Structure 1
């Protein structure tokens, strides 16, 4: 006798939400370390402050459209996936904000009444 398997949408491989969101800076940091590029040299090449680059690489500052294009020019890493990763990171962080999620629930409830 085989047991019936049920799958939730969270179990589908492409729909799994990681427990901790990945900031694109973490990926970029690994990339520049792998290539042996110093953060100071990369910042200079990109024309941005070292502190700004360091904050991005340590997930304390977001990757913007401009910085994504600068990374693309300096490293050959496509800008669009970096921006998608930043957007997913931002949304996942916001979804962990319980007061904001309560606010969304109230809005959804009010909108359902229309």
Structure 2
């Protein structure tokens, strides 16, 4: 653990949260079906289901559609997606090995 990891506002959860999980909880709380939301947003049910089950990322367009349909601000959803992407990438051992190699090469320049 580095000093930066120990800064109170810089704590990363053990398992990153995909923004689709938050939206899924919200529509369940409101009693909105996935099919109804997909129809309101004008997207395929399968695409919405993949987002809600963390198998597809939220894009700028889908974040704005969620904002329009549910009144949930798009920007925090996109920030959450970015954090999810970075945390997931940092758990990819082969990519982290590649990153370490690039850092060694860059340090030698």
Please state which band the TM-score falls in when normalised by the shorter chain: over 0.9
1:81 offset after TM fit, Å?
0.7
Unaligned runs of 5+ in 2: none
| Aligned-residue RMSD, C-alpha | 1.2
Number of residue pairs matched by the alignment: 108
Tell me which stretches of 4 or more aligned residues in structure 1 moved more than 3 Å. none
Unaligned runs of 5+ in 1: 1-6
Matched, 1:28 2:23: yes
1:8 offset after TM fit, Å?
3.5
Output the CA distance in 2 between the equivalents of 1:84 and 1:94: 15
Output the CA distance in 2 between the equivalents of 1:13 and 1:51: 39
In structure 2, which of residues 28, 32, 49 is the aligned counterpart of residue 54 of structure 1?
A: 49
Output the CA distance in 2 between the equivalents of 1:113 and 1:8: 25
1:113 offset after TM fit, Å?
1.2
Q: Deviations over 1:52-86 (max 9, x none)?
A: 11110010111011100100100011111111100
Aligned to 1:91: 86
Whose radius of gyration is greater, 1 or 2?
1
The TM-score, its normalising length taken from structure 2, stands at 0.94
The structure whose residues are more often helix, as a share, is 2
Q: Deviations over 1:3-58 (max 9, x none)?
A: xxxx9432332111110000000000011111111111000000001111111001
The TM-score, its normalising length taken from structure 1, stands at 0.90
Matched, 1:106 2:105: no
Aligned to 1:4: none
